[in-house]
Chains A and B, each alone.
Chain A
Amino acid sequence: MAAYSTSAVRIRGLVVRRGTTTVLDGLDLRIARGGIVGLLGPSGCGKTTLMRSIVGVQRVVSGTVSVLGAPAGTAALRRRVGYVTQAASVYDDLTVRQNLRYFARVLGAPASDVDRVVEATDLGTRTGALAGSLSGGQRSRVSLAAALLGSPELLVLDEPTVGLDPVLRVELWSLFRRLADRGVTLLVSSHVMDEARRCDRLLLMRDGAMLADATPNALLRKTRTRDIESAFLALIERGNAP
């Protein structure tokens, strides 16, 4: 049994290189349990690499990553952490239900769990359709549904709302909120700054470093700006100032 820990994620001195470029260079981060944490930053800034390190599929050069009190990627965590990759990871030549049933069997989750996640992601009418015939937004919801199987304590979602229409995006964010209210920790990356207001905490990332780690309101107060986009710019300018 993992030791009790109040941190969902604790990272110290994380260094990741991909090829010859250093993507993360000595990153430190602590994410408390519960709530929605938004990971924002331009594409290429290291968001996906950071998420991959947290779920334990990224080869790291040095540093420690502990998740829910255990080293990232250890066997005990594989039931407790859900991960959705940026491109929907679904089998295009299986139906929605076949996809979810397979992931449920791998997780050892009961078959009834499939119905629960289908409902949660509003896929009820599409369960018999081949995943390859779905729209991009529907495919990413199948991917999300698979990550919800087994009710993980930490959900790592890499740009889950890309390509979704505004109505669906609102629905997904209310789903994230319901999960957070139940004590789940969600780490959600996005490059859409207007989604930031829906998060309990924001991590602003640029060039592999954390520019800010604060609540949305604190961030706006600190930078004396009105929206997250401007706050982001203000922080970059401040960083560039002599």
Chain B
Amino acid sequence: MNPGRTLATSARVLAQIRHDPRTIALLLVVPSLLIGLVAWLFADTTVFQQIGPAMLGLFPFIVMFLVTSIATLRERRSGTLECLLTLPIGRLDFILGYALAFGLLAIAQAGIAVGFAVLVCGLEIEGSVWLLVLVALADAVLGSTLGLLASAFARTEFQVVQFMPAIVFPQVLLGGVLIPRDQMPDVLYAVSDWLPLSHAIDALNAVARDDEDAGFVGAQLLVLLAFAVGAVVLGSLTLRRRTP
């Protein structure tokens, strides 16, 4: 591992995104717009107060997954990855460089999404808003590290998009947005416990309602972190210098 090469890679990824206004808009603006849409949809009801916190997990997670997986896949497809792997850069340097770049974007994204939900859409947060931003950030980082991992198993952009229904949608369905997790059938509840997005949504709800202690939120954050680290490690292990 070499911090200089990791940082160089992050700076390069961010420079690429700077040249791409659409991706910036997708990362920073679209999650907030979707949250606003949900708030509007349920304008005269209390539904947004119930599902609003989960939306802070959902949209950033999906957007980060998509953007990161396609960005790394493009790197594989364009031959730049093959070139890089003949240079003295570690596989972990490469993956961490991406994770760090998208992590920085996630900070901006989480801040904007939480700010928009609370200030513009009127989402009421009983707990600490800063803790909410932290959970939203962890959730966005999780989405991007899972995207890094998923791109290792895809050869084309088309295949990456196929991971959306396979990996992302089940997590959305079982995450506790449609129905609280403790009201699900036992088997599905057990399955949802193993899905990282469930823990992100649990933590967001807990902070918004302030009905759990700090230890509970901390434990959920640790689960998210474990999944993110696991995805980065697996991602770097699946990155092969020699390919068929």
Contacts and interface: CB of A to CB of B under 8 A. Distances in A.
Contacts of A60: 242
Chain A contact patch, size range:
20 to 34
B244 A78 contact: no
Interface residues of B, number: 26
A87 interface: yes
A141 to B, nearest CB: 15
A84 B86 CA distance: 10
Contact of B87 (A94, A103, A143): A103
B235 to A, nearest CB: 18
Contacts of A18: 244
B5 to A, nearest CB: 6
A78 B4 contact: no
Contacts of A90: 78, 80
Interface in B51-85: 78-80, 82-85
Given A73-B241, A89-B79, A107 B88 contact: yes
A59 B243 contact: yes
Given A59-B242, A105-B8, A146-B83, A79 B19 contact: no
Given A56-B241, A57-B241, A73-B241, A91 B12 contact: yes
B20 interface: yes
A56 B86 contact: yes
A215 interface: no
Contacts, number: 81
Contacts of A75: 88
A93 to B, nearest CB: 4
A27 interface: no
Interface string A29-70: 000000000000000000000000001111110000000000
A81 interface: yes
B82 to A, nearest CB: 6
B89 interface: yes
Contacts of A130: 19
A90 B82 CA distance: 11
A91 B13 CA distance: 10
Contacts of B85: 57
A85 B19 contact: no
A106 interface: yes
A163 interface: no
Interface centre among B11, B12, B16 (most CB of A within 10 A): B12
Contact of A94 (B4, B19, B82, B244): B19
Contact of A58 (B5, B84, B87, B242): B242
Contacts of A107: 87-88
Given A93-B20, A105-B4, A78 B242 contact: no
B15 interface: yes
B54 to A, nearest CB: 34
A106 B84 contact: yes
A55 B88 CA distance: 12
Given A57-B241, A84-B83, 12 more contacts: A57-B82, A58-B242, A73-B242, A79-B87, A93-B20, A98-B12, A98-B15, A105-B5, A106-B87, A107-B88, A108-B4, A146-B83
List of 10 A-B pairs having minimum Cβ-Cβ separation, nearest first: A105-B8, A89-B79, A89-B83, A78-B88, A102-B12, A59-B242, A93-B19, A89-B80, A93-B16, A85-B79
6 contacts: A73-B241, A85-B79, A102-B11, A130-B19, A143-B83, A146-B83
